[in-house]
């Protein structure tokens, strides 16, 4: 069908004759803007039923049609359904359309419900639909009315304001404006759904005592029952801090820093681990859903110092050659550092981490450092692999020490970690090539995401 020629026959004064053909087939068309009517309603037999103005301008000519709101955007194949062709002058920025027939004349199948007046725009060459302007209306019997989508706002109030102790009943109240807007409010704490409540008289309320200890960002989102009349809206986040509930003398509040082996046995400070061994670390004290960066620092053992008892005694003969100068002890080796892909604490601010000792890890003292990207909280776990030389001083047990950031790290820790506190000079030099062997693989898995992390992945470095 040559739409342009057909429109030209109907409105030769508005549209030049000839041109490309616009095929009248179903098509998806972008919404270019809205249509404003000079009245809020009328009857379906009025002719003209309104004077319409688009919020913008079509690239070329256009055609006004009436379709059910759920119908696809398409050019009617039956010209009797065309309400009015339209065009605009070069200086115009919008279209003013005066319908040439009533709604009842354009659609013999009118029924009660949601309909849409559409100003379909042709492309410059008239070969396709470039988009359309729309005006939603509701038809009831012989009457029609413009459906105005009214903007809504949602505000959230939380009582008590906090900080509150874990287990305390929290009341979340969402206020929706205008109060006449009916619908449902969904309440969330970060990415966790707390529940829904119907809006009544402009408010919706939810109570909960299930928020775990940690920092939470509470939100509320309004979904209207009638999206043709009211828009959806979201409230700004309301922060709330929940503290751990106080327990008995023998029950510490909330999770505590702990390290267990694959059988669930708790490990003491600075345990000796074997390559390939898997442990689970529970590290509380981070912010809710906080990104935690991981770093493993290794200080390799040096070669043992020579035993003076095994050295030959110097000769007492005056004619003996002078003893050679003693060989100075080797300089301590530089620590090796590996960084790994970050993991995420859970909604309580607790990091549950499965750690597998890398197969290629050299014997030495090791410090796994977990640092909160936002809070700066630092948790540390010290361990060693291989038999520690007799001249090597084990790291001190700072399990209950002040730590860094929020503290509580196994192996204690100022910012320097345990490896800087050994206080013993390392002797001997392990060949650098042997220390920097091809990167093996260790595995870490974040308990909040339950996915395995491979040592040496993107972000991992060893220096």
Q: What is the pLDDT of residue 129?
A: 80
Burial pattern 122-137, b for ≥16 Cβ within 10 A else e, equals: beeebeebbbbbbbbb
Tens of pLDDT along the chain (463 residues) come to: 344 444 444 443 333 333 333 333 333 457 888 899 999 999 999 998 999 999 998 877 899 999 998 888 888 888 889 999 988 777 788 889 999 899 999 999 999 998 999 999 987 776 778 888 989 999 999 999 998 788 899 999 999 987 899 999 999 999 999 999 999 999 999 889 999 999 999 999 999 999 999 999 999 999 999 887 788 899 999 999 999 887 544 444 557 889 999 988 999 899 999 999 999 999 999 998 999 999 999 999 865 445 444 444 444 444 444 555 665 655 556 788 888 889 999 988 999 999 999 999 999 999 999 999 999 999 999 999 988 877 666 665 544 333 333 333 333 333 333 333 333 333 333 333 333 333 333 333 333 333 333 333 333 434 4
At 333 the pLDDT is: 64
Superfamily of the domain at 258-305+330-454:
Macroglobulin (MG2) domain (2.60.40.1930)
- pLDDT at residue 392, rounded to an integer: 64
Residues of each domain in the chain carrying CATH 2.60.40.1930: 258-305+330-454
The CATH fold assigned to 153-243 is: Immunoglobulin-like (2.60.40)
Q: Which CATH architecture has domain 3-146?
A: Sandwich (2.60)
Tokens 């020579």 found at: 306
Q: Is the pTM of this model over 0.85?
A: no
């Amino acid at each position: 069908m040559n739409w342009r020629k057909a429109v030209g026959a109907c409105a030769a004064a508005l549209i030049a004759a000839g041109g490309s053909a616009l095929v009248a087939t179903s098509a998806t068309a972008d919404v270019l803007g809205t249509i404003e009517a000079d009245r809020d309603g009328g009857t379906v037999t009025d002719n003209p039923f309104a004077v319409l103005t688009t919020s913008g301008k079509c690239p070329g000519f256009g055609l006004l049609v009436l379709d059910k709101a759920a119908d696809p955007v398409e050019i009617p194949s039956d010209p009797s359904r065309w309400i009015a062709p339209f065009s605009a002058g070069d200086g115009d920025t919008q279209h003013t359309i005066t319908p040439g027939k009533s709604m009842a004349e354009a659609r013999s199948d009118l029924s009660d419900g949601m309909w849409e007046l559409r100003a379909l725009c042709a492309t410059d060459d008239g070969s396709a639909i470039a988009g359309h302007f729309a005006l939603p209306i509701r038809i009831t019997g012989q009457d029609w009315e413009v459906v105005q989508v009214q903007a809504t706002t949602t505000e959230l109030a939380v009582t008590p304001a906090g900080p509150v102790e874990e287990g305390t009943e929290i009341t979340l109240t969402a206020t929706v404006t205008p109060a006449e807007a009916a619908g449902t409010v969904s309440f969330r704490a970060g990415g966790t759904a707390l529940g829904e409540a119907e809006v009544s008289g402009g408010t919706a309320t939810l109570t909960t005592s299930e928020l775990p200890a940690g920092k939470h960002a509470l939100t509320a989102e309004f979904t209207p029952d009638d999206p043709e009349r009211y828009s959806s809206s979201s409230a700004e986040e309301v922060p709330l801090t929940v503290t751990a509930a106080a327990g008995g003398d023998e029950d510490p509040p909330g999770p505590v820093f702990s390290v267990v082996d694959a059988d669930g046995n708790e490990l003491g400070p600075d345990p000796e681990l074997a390559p390939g061994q898997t442990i689970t670390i529970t590290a509380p004290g981070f912010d809710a859903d906080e990104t935690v960066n991981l770093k493993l620092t290794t200080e390799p053992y040096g070669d043992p110092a020579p035993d003076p008892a095994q050295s030959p005694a110097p000769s007492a003969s005056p004619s003996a050659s002078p003893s050679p100068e003693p060989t100075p002890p080797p300089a301590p080796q530089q620590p090796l550092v590996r960084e790994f892909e970050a993991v995420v604490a859970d909604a309580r601010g607790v990091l549950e981490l499965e750690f597998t000792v890398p197969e290629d890890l050299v014997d030495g003292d090791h410090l796994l450092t977990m640092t909160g990207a936002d809070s700066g909280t630092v948790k540390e776990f010290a361990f060693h692999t291989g038999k520690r030389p007799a001249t090597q001083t084990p790291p001190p047990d700072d399990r209950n020490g002040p730590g860094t950031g929020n503290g509580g790290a196994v192996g204690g820790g100022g910012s320097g970690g345990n490896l800087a506190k050994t206080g013993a000079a390392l002797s001997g030099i392990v060949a650098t090539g042997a220390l920097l062997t091809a990167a093996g693989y260790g595995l870490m898995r974040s308990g909040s995401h339950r996915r395995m992390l491979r040592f040496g992945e993107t972000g991992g470095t060893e220096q």
